[in-house]
Chains A and B, each alone.
Chain A
Amino acid sequence: MKQNKRKIALAGNPNVGKSTVFNALTGMHQHTGNWPGKTVSNASGEYTYQNKLYRIYDLPGTYSLISHSEEEEIARDFICFGEIDVTVIVCDAVCLERNLNLVLQIMEINPKVIVCVNLLDEAKKKKIHIDLKALSSYLGVPVVGTSAREKKGLAHLLKTIEKTAEQKYRKASYVVHYNSYIEKAIDKIEPYIKEKVGNLNTRWVSLKLIDQDPIILETLKDHLGINIVDTKMEKILLEVQNDLLEQDIILSEVKDDVVASIIKTAEDICQKVVVFEKEDYRRRDKKIDQILTSKWFGIPIMLALLCTIFWITMIGANVPSTLLSNGLFWISDQIEKFLNFIHMPAIVTDIFINGVYKVLAWVVSVMLPPMAIFFPLFTLLEDLGYLPRIAFNLDKYFKKCSACGKQALSMCMGFGCNAVGVTGCRIIDSPRERLLAILTNAFVPCNGRFPMLITLIGMFLFTGGSGFMSSFILTIVILISILMTLLMSKILSKTVLKGVPSSFTLELPPYRKPQIGKVIIHSIFDRTLFVLGRAIMVAAPAGLIIWLLANLQIGDASLLKICSDFLDPFAKIFGMDGVILMAFILGFPANEIVIPIMIMGYMSLGSLTEVHDLEILRNLFVQNGWTLLTALCVMTFCLFHFPCSTTCLTIKKETGSFKWTIFSMILPTVIGLMICFLLTQCVHVFRLL
């Protein structure tokens, strides 16, 4: 069976439900949607149909194949040289015309295609009728209508794939006709190409030669092992160029004419096969957009939505966190009993239970519930189609800092988890702007830092005050972090990452009803568990280190005490103390354990401890010399310090650079310390507070 495996490529514009079709065919769970988590590298999956095995490759979503973005080159090379049996091109029924553009371009390279007109249900709702039969006869390729979300039309698609893959001979498919001067040039070049590479699409190769596309020539050389432009070919090309010169046609004009011919062909075909029954089919979306991006309400609505998500996350996480923690510590008791039962030396049991396992359990129980709530909510906004509107609303501010509006999205994701925010930066096309977004992501506090900020606000800024006032302070803290992100982006693009903002076209897709079940599954598997996995990897060894520091004694002081005493004079300059600084350093695997480490340090205990009563906690801190200034400095440093280990690992993975990872750690730390220093010195000099 393996020898007969069919290779299917899945292509299409962004936001057309390509991944939904992919998942429906393979049953594999892969995140849908063009936003964070989009298909950048080729994903593939398998399925069997009528006892035959098919491997299907999900190509990156692109609007065309004529530019030279990384995604487009991946898709084009795969379609051209991947030796695929069929290319299925997923199209959006609501805007078929723009999608046909890509269909025509792909057919030019490899005519063995199936056009899958997806989102038919949505088109039906908008009273858009498409004559699929007529479309098929115009294009000369099979056309299948689907509503992949509703699982409609998939059986037909599977059957058509089988039929098309089996076909040896096929009738001629539609060929785009270009301006006569281009056609003449093709006629000159094509016969010779046919001699050299008969098995490829010679018309397309000829066109690329007229185009003088340098990259495609390189690719051809790589894949075929021959240089098409030999002396004879060079002569022919020179002739063609002279012809163009005589007619006063410059190269850019040729490129424009090629594109225009394809677009006009798509327009022509659509006029014949698509009927818009309702002139104003976008009315509902228009109304929603007018509210969500309005001058006065656009940004407040956005902030309110985000704050609601944070609020639900924090309130909702309390109960499951406690349950999880109880469960995990019950397991710990059982392990301890077992270790005692097999007469494990007490020291080993202690290291394992109070060191490694305790930190691990702690990280899991405080990290998992907030993320399991935040990410589904965020993915819900993504599925609805709201996220691109955030980028639309905020683009101007990011552009002013020479950054990309899409950075607004990775920043918002950073509020959930900086590691996920860093991964989310993939949606930014320009490498410079992507790096900018990655390096500044940790300037907004993540879920792991919110509880610490809230505790500090509750203890020192509004003791026993109303919940409203502390939420207000928290909002100000969030705004400060956003302003800092913008400021840092600006400073970076004026210094180490010099450059002007790149071009920006952003699609605002139609609002869609989210698929709740899928949202939950995908956000938990793709984001939550991914982050948790990386956190656990670091938490276990960190637990060991924390235990060793707290329990190994030199003289009559623990290593932890020696270290924090050593750091103390340095920390004092910045309004903090040695224990606080040690807690931040040891809290590298997860910021959630910073306060427990502080408590452990102040009480000279051997393992992490939690104090639930804010009043007792406040007294403990005050006894150890905390003032309002200390609280402010700790809050500042909590906002601006090196990202957690999970984020650092992710930055390393995304940038592929050790240098930038180190830089991303140093930058916020220096900024945080600077602010603390200024704050402390001002207070001392002017005897404030």
Chain B
Amino acid sequence: MKKTTLDLLRVGEKAIIIKVNNKGDIRRRLLDIGLIPGTEVESILKSPSGDPAAFLIRGSLFAIRSEDASKIEIEVLG
């Protein structure tokens, strides 16, 4: 179990959300799509330039910029 942040999750890896440190607008949006502590996420894709990356969150695919993902603490599974 490795603790890190979401932007560092490699494609194909799964993780559990530990803490969401984003503030303001983006925090609400992340909550909207169900990203709370305890949620399982999987890194699915990176865009051609590497940022943003797309994560599978509760059955839907969402793109999040690495700047925002770096504020989300995770624990890598497996």
Whole-angstrom CA separation of A264 from B36 in the bound complex: 9
Binary contact readout A492-515 vs B (1 if CB under 8 angstroms, 0 otherwise): 000000000011111111100000
Stretch at the interface among A49-57, A81-89, A389-397, A546-554: A389-397
Give the shortest distance, in Å, between B13 (CB) and chain A (any CB). 14
Could you tell me if B45 and A259 are in contact, using CB atoms closer than 8 angstroms? Answer: no
Could you tell me if A505 and B26 are in contact, using CB atoms closer than 8 angstroms? Answer: yes
Could you tell me if A507 and B62 are in contact, using CB atoms closer than 8 angstroms? Answer: yes
Give the shortest distance, in Å, between B34 (CB) and chain A (any CB). 5
Known contacts A286-B44, A506-B52; is A98 also within 8 Å of B61 by CB? no
Known contacts A502-B25, A505-B64, A507-B61; is A395 also within 8 Å of B33 by CB? no
**Which residues from chain A contact B62 at a C-beta distance below 8 Å?**
505-508
**Which residues from chain B contact A391 at a C-beta distance below 8 Å?**
63
> Within residues 74 to 122 of chain A, which ones have a CB less than 8 A from any CB in chain B?
94-98, 101
**Which residues from chain A contact B25 at a C-beta distance below 8 Å?**
502-503
B: number of interface residues (CB 8 Å): 36
Known contacts A95-B59, A392-B54, A392-B63; is A259 also within 8 Å of B36 by CB? yes
**Which residues from chain A contact B32 at a C-beta distance below 8 Å?**
63-64, 66-67, 505
**Which residues from chain A contact B22 at a C-beta distance below 8 Å?**
503
Binary contact readout B16-52 vs A (1 if CB under 8 angstroms, 0 otherwise): 0000001011101111111011110000111111111
Stretch at the interface among A289-297, A580-588, A598-606, A652-660: A289-297
Whole-angstrom CA separation of A610 from B52 in the bound complex: 49
Judge if B65 is at the interface, Cβ distance under 8 Å.
yes
Could you tell me if A95 and B58 are in contact, using CB atoms closer than 8 angstroms? Answer: yes
Contact of B68 among A67, A260, A388, A504 (CB under 8 A): A504
Whole-angstrom CA separation of A138 from B46 in the bound complex: 38
Contact of B36 among A97, A263, A285, A399 (CB under 8 A): A263
Known contacts A63-B33, A66-B32, A98-B34; is A298 also within 8 Å of B65 by CB? no
Whole-angstrom CA separation of A285 from B37 in the bound complex: 27
Could you tell me if B48 and A293 are in contact, using CB atoms closer than 8 angstroms? Answer: yes
Judge if A454 is at the interface, Cβ distance under 8 Å.
no
Could you tell me if A97 and B63 are in contact, using CB atoms closer than 8 angstroms? Answer: no
Residue of A nearest to B66 (CB): A396
Could you tell me if A98 and B58 are in contact, using CB atoms closer than 8 angstroms? Answer: yes
Judge if A299 is at the interface, Cβ distance under 8 Å.
yes
Judge if A282 is at the interface, Cβ distance under 8 Å.
yes
**Which residues from chain A contact B50 at a C-beta distance below 8 Å?**
295, 396
Could you tell me if A395 and B31 are in contact, using CB atoms closer than 8 angstroms? Answer: no
Whole-angstrom CA separation of A259 from B36 in the bound complex: 9
Could you tell me if B60 and A290 are in contact, using CB atoms closer than 8 angstroms? Answer: no
Could you tell me if A298 and B63 are in contact, using CB atoms closer than 8 angstroms? Answer: no
**Which residues from chain B contact A63 at a C-beta distance below 8 Å?**
29, 32-33
Contact of A396 among B37, B39, B52, B60 (CB under 8 A): B52
Contact of B65 among A299, A395, A509 (CB under 8 A): A395
Could you tell me if A260 and B26 are in contact, using CB atoms closer than 8 angstroms? Answer: no
Residue of A nearest to B12 (CB): A286
Whole-angstrom CA separation of A264 from B17 in the bound complex: 14
Interface residue ranges, B against A (CB under 8 Å):
22, 24-26, 28-34, 36-39, 44-52, 54, 56-65, 68
Could you list 25 A-B pairs, sorted by A, with CB under 8 Å? A64-B32, A66-B32, A67-B28, A67-B29, A98-B59, A256-B36, A282-B56, A285-B61, A293-B46, A388-B63, A391-B63, A393-B47, A395-B65, A396-B47, A397-B49, A502-B25, A503-B22, A504-B26, A504-B65, A504-B68, A505-B29, A505-B30, A506-B62, A509-B61, A510-B61
Which 7 A/B pairs are nearest by Cβ-Cβ distance? A503-B26, A95-B59, A298-B48, A63-B32, A67-B28, A506-B63, A396-B49
Inter-chain pairs besides A98-B57, A263-B34, A399-B65, 15 sampled, C-beta below 8 Å: A67-B32, A95-B58, A97-B58, A98-B33, A290-B45, A295-B46, A392-B47, A393-B48, A395-B65, A396-B47, A399-B51, A505-B64, A506-B52, A509-B60, A509-B61
